[in-house]
Structure 1
Amino acid sequence: MTQRYLNLGRLLSGYFNQDWDFTWASDAEVILAFRRAEPSTQVDATIVEVEQLLKSSSDDPSAVDEILTSLGCEYNYNADGLTSISWLERMKYLLLSSEHDLPST
């Protein structure tokens, strides 16, 4: 499973690790930091993987929860009123948005 979502796993385990909230104030800041720091090819590949995960699991949020956990995600999106599906949609929006279209974090 982790090979299928290799780039998404890099975002989740590398940026949303157990200490992510010591560095950033919100999930949006983390996602934007990833977008700014990583090569555009990796960001684009991550977007494709998010889209694949949304498409393959959109009818089963618990399966998406399990996948995100298996990829090393330490962010509790439920605490922010999001489901795994809505958070992935938010992530995709933030990764795709141009800099001037982004909300303040």
Structure 2
Amino acid sequence: MKYFNLDQLIGGYFNEDFDYWGNTIEELVRACASGGTPEMINATVAEIDQFKSDHAGNLDAAFEENFGGQFDPALWGHTAESFLDELKRLLLSE
């Protein structure tokens, strides 16, 4: 999978059982980052940048295609772009 770490973050923490890890995006990212290495966090940030670059003209559709079965950022008040930007911001602050 091209976006392995990003898929692990979204699929592992932003799923139907998300409340096991937390109730906010910040809490879920913190839970993921606390179990990862700095290399994993950096790889996830790089994958966010790569995903946005790879799908610049159709980010929402690409997000839906890649992660829509697991998560919908609109349910959390975000677009695909604003959600990815928030993930990146939070990961970099860990």
Q: Is TM (by shorter chain) over 0.5?
A: yes
Aligned ranges for residues 20-99 of structure 1 at < 5 Å? Answer: 20-60=18-58, 61-69=60-68, 73-74=70-71, 76-98=72-94
Which structure 1 segments of 5+ residues have no match? 99-105
Unaligned runs of 5+ in 2: none
How many residues end up aligned between the 2 structures? Answer: 93
Scaled by the length of structure 2, the TM-score of the pair is: 0.85
Q: Report the residue type matching 1:67 in the other structure.
A: N
C-alpha RMSD of the superposition: 1.6
TM-score by length of 1: 0.77
**Regions of 4+ moved over 2 Å:** none
Q: Percent identity between the aligned chains?
A: 29
